[in-house]
Amino acid sequence: MAKDYPASPKAQHLQESKKQRLTYVLVVSALCVAFYVLGAWQNSTMPNPVADSAISRVDCDTMAQRDGSVPSFAPASENVLDFDAHHQLNLSDTESAVQQFPACPLNQSEYTPCEDRKRGRLFDRDMLIYRERHCPGKDEQIRCLIPAPPKYKNPFRWPESRDVAWFDNIPHKELSIEKAVQNWIRVEGNKFRFPGGGTMFPHGADAYIDEISKLISLSDGRIRTAIDTGCGVASFGAYLLKRNIITVSFAPRDTHEAQVQFALERGVPAILGVMGSIRLPYPSRAFDLAHCSRCLIPWGGHDGLYLAEIDRILRPGGYWIHSGPPINWKTHHNGWKRAEEDLKREQDKIEDVARSLCWNKVAEKEDLSIWQKPKNHLECADIKKKHKIPHICKSDNPDAACTRRWNPVLLHCLK
């Protein structure tokens, strides 16, 4: 192979190319430095009206800053950011328009405007319409501030509040007397104690939930939200919280006063409500589990309307748990003081409606029955063709909740 010597023409050409590139780099660098110096010199000598006006209008008292006081600022021009408030309310001009509300009498400390029992008695008792929300008109509005009970105390903090509440915050002993055998609630001095019992679980909600967990899994994360219908003092929801299941409980205001108030004092999510002629205030597929423990809802009545509502708010694959009449009626019919034929007929109706909704009964053990909503309703299209009830509005918006009322005669949705 030929070797390039320094004196050869090719070597001389390479040396000249390197010199040209080096010269080019030096020239460009010199120009950049020159332009930078020129720009810096122009900025230091030419006046800047915006900066000058800003500096001139900021009256900083350096001596005041040295002694710890706050410097004062003069009004800024339109070229400077202005942080002053230009929209001010003159309170002296509006004092006459502000209406001061007095406190209501102490006997109205539990008054709930849209749940007034006196007003409720004016409405139809069919489908529990009289226990639904009926808000007062302008002529009935009470213009005063609802007071707390006279000796109200700050509630206990969770998790202690699950088990105790101040008696003065909910001064009613009726439940502790009427439900004493069922272990709902006890009065101990100046406190209520909640042993966790219920009508169908007098040994405690924890033991009751353990029985449910033997039939379906409550710990694999598939069940995270639940709704408890006819909740009583909401012990079921209270004890589901430690299993990472958030439960919304509801019950009507009835002869037991506001049972929901006990739940709220315990720190358990709950609302006043009833399954009547209006949908539940939740969108479709909102819950993984629905629960009824002797909630006294006629599930087989009205052509299965209420079970269809549970189907609406359950997600695909969600569960419905039912305990109490008519479940296990062969064992309890004497205690319930009801005829066997009547209880059997009631359970047959529930079974028929569940079948028409394509629900699958996954478990039945003693006082517990559990159904599961299908994950895909298309799989049971043939079953739905055979069942004309319950009537489900195909063109209806399933997420419309309180705005929809069920017509008890036509059994379809009306705006």
Based on the domain organization, do 332 and 241 belong to the same domain? yes
Based on the domain organization, do 157 and 142 belong to the same domain? no
Give the mean pLDDT of 295-301: 93
How many structural domains comprise the chain?
2
Instruction: Count CB neighbours of 108 within 10 A.
Output: 14
Based on the domain organization, do 186 and 293 belong to the same domain? yes
Are residues 238 and 266 in contact, defined by beta-carbon separation less than 8 angstroms?
Answer: yes
Q: Which of 106, 124, 147 is the last residue of a domain?
A: 147
Q: Which two tokens stand for residue 354?
A: 């569940």
pLDDT in tens, 305-318: 999 999 999 999 99
- 58 falls within a domain: no
Based on the domain organization, do 307 and 325 belong to the same domain? yes
pLDDT in tens, 361-389: 999 999 999 999 998 877 676 666 666 56
Are residues 197 and 235 in contact, defined by beta-carbon separation less than 8 angstroms?
Answer: yes
Based on the domain organization, do 257 and 132 belong to the same domain? no
Based on the domain organization, do 112 and 230 belong to the same domain? no
pLDDT in tens, 60-115: 344 444 444 444 444 444 445 566 666 666 666 555 567 788 999 988 888 888 98
DSSP line for 349-415: HHHHHHHHTT-EEEEEETTEEEEE--S-GGGGHHHHHH---S---TTS-TT--TT-EE-TTT-SEE-
- 76 falls within a domain: no
pLDDT in tens, 113-156: 898 888 999 999 999 999 999 999 988 888 899 999 989 999 99
Based on the domain organization, do 118 and 208 belong to the same domain? no
Give the mean pLDDT of 257-283: 90
Q: CA 279 to CA 380: how far, in whole Å?
A: 25
Predicted local distance difference test score (pLDDT) of residue 233: 92
Instruction: Count CB neighbours of 308 within 10 A.
Output: 20
Check whether 25 has a pLDDT greater than 60.
yes
CATH code: domain of residue 283: 3.40.50.150
Query: What is the SS3 string spanning 245-274?
Result: CEEEEEECCECCECHHHHHHHHCCCEEECC
- 59 falls within a domain: no
Are residues 269 and 247 in contact, defined by beta-carbon separation less than 8 angstroms?
Answer: yes
- 14 falls within a domain: no
Q: Which of 147, 174, 207 is the last residue of a domain?
A: 147
For 42, 45, 64, 73, 82, the CA distances from 56, given in Å and listed in that order, are 21, 18, 18, 10, 15
Q: CA 324 to CA 338: how far, in whole Å?
A: 13
- Which of 3-7, 28-32, 216-220 has the least mean pLDDT? 3-7
Predicted local distance difference test score (pLDDT) of residue 392: 55
- 48 falls within a domain: no
Q: CA 91 to CA 76: how far, in whole Å?
A: 27
pTM for the full predicted model:
0.72
- 319 falls within a domain: yes
Based on the domain organization, do 252 and 134 belong to the same domain? no
Element (H or E) spanning 56, and its range?
helix 49-57
Based on the domain organization, do 297 and 360 belong to the same domain? yes
pLDDT in tens, 143-192: 899 999 989 999 999 999 999 999 999 998 888 888 888 889 999 999 99
Predicted local distance difference test score (pLDDT) of residue 247: 97
Q: Which amino acid belongs to residue 122?
A: L
Pairing status of strand 164-166 against strand 246-251: unpaired
Phi first, then psi, for residue 254 (nearest 5°) are: -130, -150
Based on the domain organization, do 104 and 247 belong to the same domain? no
Check whether 22 has a pLDDT greater than 70.
yes
- 23 falls within a domain: no
With the C-alpha atoms ordered 391, 394, 398, 404, is the resulting torsion angle positive or negative?
Answer: negative
Nearest residue to 372 via CA among 306, 337, 332, 320: 320
Phi first, then psi, for residue 413 (nearest 5°) are: -85, 140
- 21 falls within a domain: no
Residue 119 domain boundaries: 95-147
Based on the domain organization, do 108 and 157 belong to the same domain? no
Q: Which of 110, 131, 147 is the last residue of a domain?
A: 147
Q: CA 346 to CA 353: how far, in whole Å?
A: 11
Are residues 357 and 314 in contact, defined by beta-carbon separation less than 8 angstroms?
Answer: no
Nearest residue to 294 via CA among 373, 232, 371, 226: 232
Are residues 403 and 397 in contact, defined by beta-carbon separation less than 8 angstroms?
Answer: no
Based on the domain organization, do 143 and 158 belong to the same domain? no
